[in-house]
Chain A
Amino acid sequence: MNRKVFEFQSKPGILSSCAVGGRLEKEGPLGSYFDITETDTTFGMESWEKAETKMVEICSTLALEKAKAAADEIDLVFAGDLMNQCTASSFAFRQTQIPYIGLYGACSTFALSLGLAAMSLETGFAKRTMAVASSHFCSAERQYRFPIEYGNQRTPTSQNTVTGVGAVILGEQQGERIAVTEFLPGRIHDYKIKDVNNMGAAMAPAALYTLKRYFSFSDKKPEDFDLIVTGDLGMEGKNILIELGASHGLILGENYNDCGVMIYDLENQDVHAGGSGCGCSASVFSGYLMDQLRCGNLNDILLVGTGALLSPTTALQKESIPGIAHLVRIQRVK
């Protein structure tokens, strides 16, 4: 193997996908692609943490329904979120009897769980797996920034944590299907960015090096894909990645976009540089991108989940922000 791309010979198929979002996501350009959007972002719960857990429960339940699978038919679930000790995910799955693996990869979590879910199918140990990632604006805001009602002015480079969940169910499948075919786990890159309000800049180099590494192994070129989508560099990081790429021999053209930029209307929604959080790339993939893959508008895409691996404590200790980017290839196979 030698640190090359993990290629999945079995080409595990995506049996179903489900995306849940909040009000701001509903009002965004991809609003109609969500399975469920809730204008009451408390989801009827009395705390934001419970709301996020509820959101994960709703999303994973619907994903199971859509795959016509019972919870006990799932051999393994990979789930992650932004909350301390990953509780949104673990609390959501405590009622089920699904073997559970909690992940933390910041905003890259969805690509990571998708890659690992496919990997466990490839080994043959699991027949059906689930990949989930979630974030909630309020629970993230409380943990990483300020109280919800605190009067704070945000900088234009800051990103808005998406209130959303994405869940997909993977399994062995024959015939024409949408399959996860390759996975390249990222390396950690730290370019000593310390501005917690500019995470796009902290993550962009990781995305660049993961993409470069992928194309050095692959005989494909960036233009061979219908879409290369990072999640979530935001406008700031997207522009940096395009510029950096150009100076490093990686030309990202019209087929490149970023989930954080796609999910909101940056002009008319007050979200600064765009969306962020595990739920951003998770819900954009499970909603919009899966829809486009299903109807054939997209046939071969690269999802590059990017994460800023900081904690409030490391930020206070003036540590820089390491970035990571995991790459997953999803394509239509026959």
Chain B
Amino acid sequence: MQYLYAFLIGGALCAIAQIWIDKTAVTPARILVSYVCLGVVLSGVGAYKPLAEFAGAGATVPLTGFGYALAKGVAKGIQEFGFLGIFTGGLQGTAGGITAAMLFSLLAALIFKAKPENL
């Protein structure tokens, strides 16, 4: 069942973005930004925690989950460091992902060459 929920919720989050793109011609960068911010807001109002418990990776893998990680990080940061946590929490919660993306991107740049799909 866990896999089914992950599939359905994850798929639904992507399908919503697809409708948004096709209907409004919004750029991909805006979708990414909106989804992350939306994730933070939904976490803040307490909606994302139950969703993540229900759908597992279906909720944490889409970029709203990235927002959820930011929100969790900030909440924990405040728990631990008080006011300072507002500044340190968010990125702490997402440090793994961002660092990994930087590392693997750099490695990819070292190894690979760009090749256009059509050519």
Contact B118 A137 (CB under 8 A): yes
Cβ-closest chain A residue relative to B29: A146
A148 CB within 8 Å of chain B: yes
> For A152, what are the chain B residues with a Cβ–Cβ distance below 8 Å?
28
Asked, given contacts A195-B25, A197-B25, whether A149 binds B114 with beta carbons under 8 Å apart, the answer is yes
B111 CB within 8 Å of chain A: no
Contact B21 A148 (CB under 8 A): no
Can you offer 11 A-B residue contacts whose CB atoms are under 8 A? Answer: A22-B119, A23-B118, A24-B118, A24-B119, A137-B118, A137-B119, A138-B119, A148-B116, A149-B115, A160-B118, A195-B25
Q: Which of A7-57 contact B (CB under 8 A)?
A: 22-24, 41
> For A141, what are the chain B residues with a Cβ–Cβ distance below 8 Å?
116
Give Cα A24–Cα B21 distance, bound, in whole angstroms.
28
Determine how close the nearest CB of chain A comes to the CB of B75; give it in whole angstroms. Answer: 32
User: Interface code B11-46, partner A: CB below 8 Å = 1, 0 otherwise?
Assistant: 000000000010001001000000000000000000
User: Interface code B93-119, partner A: CB below 8 Å = 1, 0 otherwise?
Assistant: 000000000000000000000111011
> For B21, what are the chain A residues with a Cβ–Cβ distance below 8 Å?
153
Determine how close the nearest CB of chain A comes to the CB of B18; give it in whole angstroms. Answer: 9
- Chain B residues at the A interface, C-beta cutoff of 8 Å: 21, 25, 28, 114-116, 118-119
Determine how close the nearest CB of chain A comes to the CB of B5; give it in whole angstroms. Answer: 26
Contact B119 A163 (CB under 8 A): yes
A317 CB within 8 Å of chain B: no
Cβ-closest chain B residue relative to A38: B119
Contact A138 B25 (CB under 8 A): no
A313 CB within 8 Å of chain B: no
Asked, given contacts A24-B119, A153-B21, A163-B119, whether A138 binds B114 with beta carbons under 8 Å apart, the answer is yes
Give the contacting residue for A137; candidates B25, B28, B116; CB below 8 A: B116
How many A-B pairs have beta carbons closer than 8 Å: the answer is 29
A41-B116, A155-B25 known; 13 new pairs, CB 8 Å cut-off, are: A22-B119, A23-B118, A24-B118, A24-B119, A41-B119, A138-B114, A138-B119, A147-B114, A148-B115, A148-B116, A160-B118, A163-B119, A195-B25
A270 CB within 8 Å of chain B: yes
Determine how close the nearest CB of chain B comes to the CB of A50; give it in whole angstroms. Answer: 13
Give Cα A34–Cα B22 distance, bound, in whole angstroms.
37
Q: Is the interface of A mostly helix, strand, loop or mixed?
A: loop
Cβ-closest chain B residue relative to A151: B28
Q: Which of A145-180 contact B (CB under 8 A)?
A: 147-149, 152-153, 155, 160, 163
Determine how close the nearest CB of chain A comes to the CB of B64; give it in whole angstroms. Answer: 19
Determine how close the nearest CB of chain A comes to the CB of B16; give it in whole angstroms. Answer: 15
Determine how close the nearest CB of chain A comes to the CB of B12; give it in whole angstroms. Answer: 18
Give Cα A149–Cα B118 distance, bound, in whole angstroms.
11
Contact A270 B115 (CB under 8 A): no
User: Interface code A131-151, partner B: CB below 8 Å = 1, 0 otherwise?
Assistant: 000000110010000011100
Give Cα A141–Cα B119 distance, bound, in whole angstroms.
13
Contact A148 B114 (CB under 8 A): yes
Interface centre among B21, B28, B118 (most CB of A within 10 A): B118
Interface centre among B25, B114, B119 (most CB of A within 10 A): B119
Give Cα A141–Cα B116 distance, bound, in whole angstroms.
10
Determine how close the nearest CB of chain A comes to the CB of B113; give it in whole angstroms. Answer: 8
Determine how close the nearest CB of chain B comes to the CB of A17; give it in whole angstroms. Answer: 24
> For B114, what are the chain A residues with a Cβ–Cβ distance below 8 Å?
138, 147-149
> For A149, what are the chain B residues with a Cβ–Cβ distance below 8 Å?
114-115
Give Cα A153–Cα B119 distance, bound, in whole angstroms.
17
Give Cα A22–Cα B116 distance, bound, in whole angstroms.
12
Contact A23 B119 (CB under 8 A): yes
Q: Which of A175-206 contact B (CB under 8 A)?
A: 195, 197
> For B25, what are the chain A residues with a Cβ–Cβ distance below 8 Å?
155, 195, 197
Give Cα A137–Cα B119 distance, bound, in whole angstroms.
9
> For B115, what are the chain A residues with a Cβ–Cβ distance below 8 Å?
148-149
Contact B118 A270 (CB under 8 A): yes
> For B116, what are the chain A residues with a Cβ–Cβ distance below 8 Å?
41, 137-138, 141, 148
Cβ-closest chain B residue relative to A23: B119
Give Cα A63–Cα B51 distance, bound, in whole angstroms.
65
Q: Which 6 A-B pairs have the closest CB atoms?
A: A148-B114, A41-B119, A23-B119, A148-B116, A24-B118, A149-B114
